[in-house]
Amino acid sequence: MAKISVAGIAAEDVLNCLPDGVALLGPDLAILWANQCLQDWFGGVDRTGENFYSALANPEIVGAGLCPLQTCFSSDRNASTTLQTQKGKYYHIHAAPLASFSSSVKAAGQLDRIVVTLSDVTEEILQEQKLAAIHQAGAKLTDLKPDEIFAMDVEQRIELLKDNIRHYTRDLLNVEVIEIRLLEQSTGNLIPLLSVGIDQVAADRRLMASPQGYGVTGYVAASGKSYLCRDATKDSKYLEAFKGARSSLTVPVMLHDSVIGTINVESPTLDAFSNSDQMFLEIFARDVAVALNTLELLVAQRTNAAQQSCEAIHAAVALPIDDLLLDAVHLMEKYIGHDTETVAKLRSVLAKARSIKKSIQQIGQTLAPADVSLVGCQGEHYSKLIGKRILVVDADETVRNDAHSLLERYGCTVETAHEGDQAVSMVRNCLEEPYHVIITDIKLPDYSGYQLMLRLQKLMTHVPMALMTGFGYDPGHSIVKARQSGLHPKAILYKPFRLDQLLSVTETLIDYSPDPTQ
């Protein structure tokens, strides 16, 4: 190539300093000259005289575009496209007619030289592909029709989500160690949902949403900010998840601008995660949140305006009446065997309080007839619930209120207790008209749901009980022990209440009559 200088500097020297490849090609696409960068991409070999595409090991044009080199020669216009090599490299190629020759050859009718620039866009293309794959994976986390979702119980939905998360984190994010925790809003507890590659002690570790004292996960849940731990051995926030861990990346799971959990990935390699990895994991976390929401694992049944009015009545009146019932029963137990007249008056108070509750329920039903948005949840499907008496035992007022508002739409009579001893007293003093179903939290202020079951078995031949729990939260293995003691295998409820699950479990227990010979 002829030496051309600009401001005393050879143009060839300038072109050799560029980070992109530059070449001068003849009409047969032979390389007349290539700068240093392009020669390096050619493998450090001088390819002068060789076909340009052959020198690049015959790459493929991405998409359905035409060859930009032939297009430039034939049209005397700029042309560009993207090339993919057999080794997985991507280049953006731009061809332009050489300005100094273009005007002189127009009269002759043929362009004899073009300038080609080649830019390595591999990282950008791979990131775009990965981003598209992550979005596609996010959409497939819950790739089910509404009727298919409805047919699955909550445990099956959780397992579906876990399996998909395991698959996509391994294939797309290239991580083998992952932990997902969900935030229990009322307590700040971070409840384990999924642990892969985490030591059991670490998986069982109690974590809270707090900026101090609960590791990176607690910090991320409390702040709503992602945290990149480049060196686990030097980071004071890091809590060891497995032997040999050297770096981690933790992002919040956000739904409607609120933190509902965390995703943590870890590596035995120092500084294994980049800012791009953080971006990808944050996107994936948003998809996980949407999946949880779609599967309705985190949201209670929404109600219309009339139903909300009914719930307001329950919140203002039904729960205080429940407290009145608890107080009356507590006093009765003190006076039984000592003061017959006082006991009789207290029984009258109980009867009148229950009558008031029934009147409230009837008024509420006229305001808000059963109307369920989920496919297959029409009121007539739950006619067995009408007139049935349900006892709900939970220290959380929200849960007790939800039990009223959801079950009483379908004709149930709901009473609630705060703790196990209150529930025992309520059952003991209504044996003449027993509860058809008893729904209790697995962890009560005084003892576990399983221990409550054992106490009630001394009062009732059959205890029609269901246990409530959060995601995978089972202190003392109450569910396993209760099942061994006669708990129905389907009598598990997950909080917050999903209407179809609540109704289904309640009906199952109403229908269930165990064989006394077994």
Read off the tokens for 341: 């007249």
Return the closest-CA partner of residue 38 out of 88, 91, 83, 77: 91
Which region, left, alpha or beta, applies to residue 476 given φ > 0 means left and ψ of -120 to 50 means alpha? left
Cβ neighbours, 10 Å, residue 58: 11
Say whether pLDDT at 355 is over 90. no
The answer to whether 244 and 268 are in contact (CB under 8 A) is yes
Instruction: Compute the average pLDDT of residues 112-135.
Output: 80
Measured distance CA(176)–CA(195) in Å, rounded: 10
Confidence grade of residue 57 (pLDDT, cut at 50, 70, 90): confident
Say whether pLDDT at 81 is over 80. yes
Report the percent of the chain where pLDDT is more than 90: 33
Confidence grade of residue 445 (pLDDT, cut at 50, 70, 90): very high
From the number of C-beta atoms within 10 Å of its C-beta (0-12, 13-18, 19+), residue 458 rates as exposed
Architecture of domain 5-120: 2-Layer Sandwich (3.30)
Read off the tokens for 150: 């409805």
The string over 169-189, giving b where at least 16 C-beta atoms fall within 10 Å of a residue's C-beta and e elsewhere, is beebbebebbbbbbbbeeeeb
* DSSP at 382: G
Where would I find the H helices in 193-304? Answer: 200-203, 215-223, 275-294
Task: Give 288-328 pLDDT, tens digit per residue.
Answer: 887 777 665 443 333 344 455 555 665 677 778 888 888 88
Beta-bridged to residue 250, according to DSSP, are: 227, 264
Return the closest-CA partner of residue 464 out of 389, 376, 365: 389
Q: Pairing state of beta strands 465-469 and 492-494?
A: parallel
Q: For the CA atoms of 225, 228, 234, 237, what is the dihedral angle to 10 degrees?
A: 30
DSSP letters for 93-128: EEEEE-HHHHHHHHTTT----EEEEEEE-HHHHHHH
What was the pLDDT predicted at 299? 38
Q: Which of these ranges, 244-248, 283-287, 460-464, has the smallest mean pLDDT? A: 283-287
Fold of 305-511: Rossmann fold (3.40.50)
Say whether pLDDT at 9 is over 70. no
Task: Give 466-508 pLDDT, tens digit per residue.
Answer: 999 875 556 567 788 888 888 998 898 887 767 888 898 999 9
Say whether pLDDT at 94 is over 50. yes
Say whether pLDDT at 233 is over 70. yes
Say whether pLDDT at 442 is over 80. yes
Q: Coil, strand or helix: which one is 438? A: strand
Q: Coil, strand or helix: which one is 189? A: strand
Return the closest-CA partner of residue 182 out of 293, 90, 259: 259
Beta-carbon contacts of 461 under 8 Å, excluding residues fewer than 6 positions away, are 516
What was the pLDDT predicted at 363? 60
Q: Coil, strand or helix: which one is 73? A: helix
Q: Which of these ranges, 210-214, 431-435, 445-449, has the smallest mean pLDDT? A: 431-435
What was the pLDDT predicted at 441? 92
What was the pLDDT predicted at 471? 59
Q: Coil, strand or helix: which one is 243? A: coil
What was the pLDDT predicted at 507? 92
Confidence grade of residue 154 (pLDDT, cut at 50, 70, 90): low
3-class SS string, 120-188: ECHHHHHHHHHHHHHHHHHHHCCCCCHHHHHHCCHHHHHHHHHHHHHHHHHHCCCCCEEEEEEECCCCC
Domain range annotation of the chain: 5-120, 128-294, 305-511
Measured distance CA(442)–CA(402) in Å, rounded: 17
The CATH number given to 128-294 is 3.30.450.40
- HSE, side-chain direction, 13 A CA sphere, residue 5: 3
Sheet with 189-196, side-by-side order of all strands: 207-208, 189-196, 177-183, 258-267, 247-255, 227-229
Say whether pLDDT at 118 is over 80. yes
Instruction: Compute the average pLDDT of residues 353-380.
Output: 54
Instruction: Compute the average pLDDT of residues 270-294.
Output: 83
On the question of a common fold for 5-120 and 128-294, the answer reads: yes
Sheet with 79-84, side-by-side order of all strands: 31-34, 21-25, 114-120, 90-97, 79-84, 60-61
Instruction: Compute the average pLDDT of residues 175-190.
Output: 88
Report the percent of the chain where pLDDT is more than 70: 77
210 vs 155 pLDDT, higher one: 210
Task: Give 183-207 pLDDT, tens digit per residue.
Answer: 988 889 999 888 888 899 999 899 9
